[in-house]
Structures are given as structure tokens and as C-alpha cells.
Amino acid sequence: MSHNTSIAPERDQKLLEEFSLSAVPTLRKLLTTIDEDEHELYVYLQSDHTQFVTEILNIDWTTGLMWLGTPYEKALSSNCNASTAYVMVSFPDGVKVQFAGVGILQSQYQGADALRIAIPKTIVRLQRRNYFRVMADEELNAQVKLEIPAVNGPISLIDISLAGCGLSLQTSPSLHQAGEVIPDVRLTLPDGEGSMLVELVVRNIKPMADHPEMVQLGCEMKTLERGAERRLQRFLLATERRQRANLHSID
């Protein structure tokens, strides 16, 4: 692991409540990233303080179930059952996330022993980056417009911070490479002050298995106009406040 953050679960209830996320698109992205990028899951059983490491084998969004690999030492999970309380921690994209639940059932996946849990309805994302980042929801994508020269199809933001953004667009992965500089990108915020000019540097490229005509790009972003960074910071903070208010109103 390259991160320095503790893999132990966060226990501070105030932090857990403050950074709790329940929007379905956000949960799907976080869990899918853990699954597809093969991040470890650190499992903590509440009753006897047992700890083990596993990985996601499969996520069935239709049934709301998730299968996990059994630990190397099978005895660590041998007593898991419907009443087993747990906390699981992972680090998708270097950011610490955790979720809790009750019920780890002995199961099978593709003919091998496995563990089965319910897909969590809430995940806590504990920000550990140098720049504050928000996940893009439907409202953000309706408010923000990103225009890249030579890209005619729709562009959707995945996340955005002062340092960069994740985005999905209709293009071939082979047309992009790490380190590529994309100049003259226009970013329009809903503050009525017009578009701003930014420069993107591609840092990672991820084909979308379910949509081969689409690709996800992780980019560093440099604002090129005076006052643009302050505008973006105001928008990010307002968006985070809105998302938290929406979450609390649902709860």
C-alpha cells in the first residue's frame, strides 16, 4: 500500500455522520472501483475483534448482494453468520472509505467457498487528499459544462477538485495516453460569470467494460485565468454543503 492513513476503522461518530454517503450512483462508483481495481477490503468483526483481508468477488446490484473471498486463514471467518457485525475498510483511488453492517454468510461463488454480505446502503468517505474533492451527482452534471476541443459527444464529470477531475466521454482509450496535455478546455460553472479556460493533463485512463465506446479519464487541472481558482473553490464548497443537506433531509 502506498497510503499512510491507518487501515483501522474510524470510530469518531461525528466524523462518520459528517462524511456518510448514501446516493446510489456514488455507492456504485466506490464499490465498483474497489471491485474492478482489486483493492483489498480490511474486515473487522465487532464481537471478537477478529481482523482479516479479503477482496470483492462479485457485486449483484439486482439482488443487492456482494460476494467476498474467504481469508487465507479460513478459521478467521469460520464463525461468521447472519448476526455477525462488521466494519470493512478500503482505499479506492487512495481515499479511505468504510462501511458497516450485520451478517456475513458462508456461501459459494463459481464453485469455491466465499462469504456473502448485503451491499451497503451507506459508505463513509474520509477525505485524505491534499485538495478537497466532491463526487459529481446528477445536479452537478446538470450545472457544470465541460467543453473539450475535438470532443463532440457528451462529457460527464465523475468528481472534481481544485487539483483535477475525473470524467467520462465517448472516445477510444487508444486515442489518449498518460501525460497527454489537453489545452483550451472550457469549464462553465453555474455562477453566471461565464466559462473559464483550463488545461487538463491526463494521468490515468480506464476503459469502461460495459460501454466499450466510452472511457474514463483522471486528469490534473490547471486554471489559466485570474480568479478562476477562487470561483471553483466557492462552487465546490457550495456543492458539498448541498449534498450533505440532501443526505440529512433523506435520513
Q: Is the pLDDT of residue 6 over 80?
A: no
**Containing H/E element for 156?**
strand 155-161
In whole numbers, what is the pLDDT of the chain averaged over residues?
Answer: 87
The number of CA neighbours under 13 Å toward the Cβ of 192 is: 0
pLDDT band (50, 70, 90) for residue 82 = very high
C-alpha to C-alpha distance for 5 and 150, rounded to whole angstroms: 40
Looking at residue 56, its pLDDT comes to 96
**Containing H/E element for 125?**
strand 123-126
What's the pTM? Answer: 0.54
C-alpha to C-alpha distance for 165 and 133, rounded to whole angstroms: 9
pLDDT band (50, 70, 90) for residue 155 = very high
- pLDDT (mean) for 121-150: 83
Length of the chain, in residues: 251
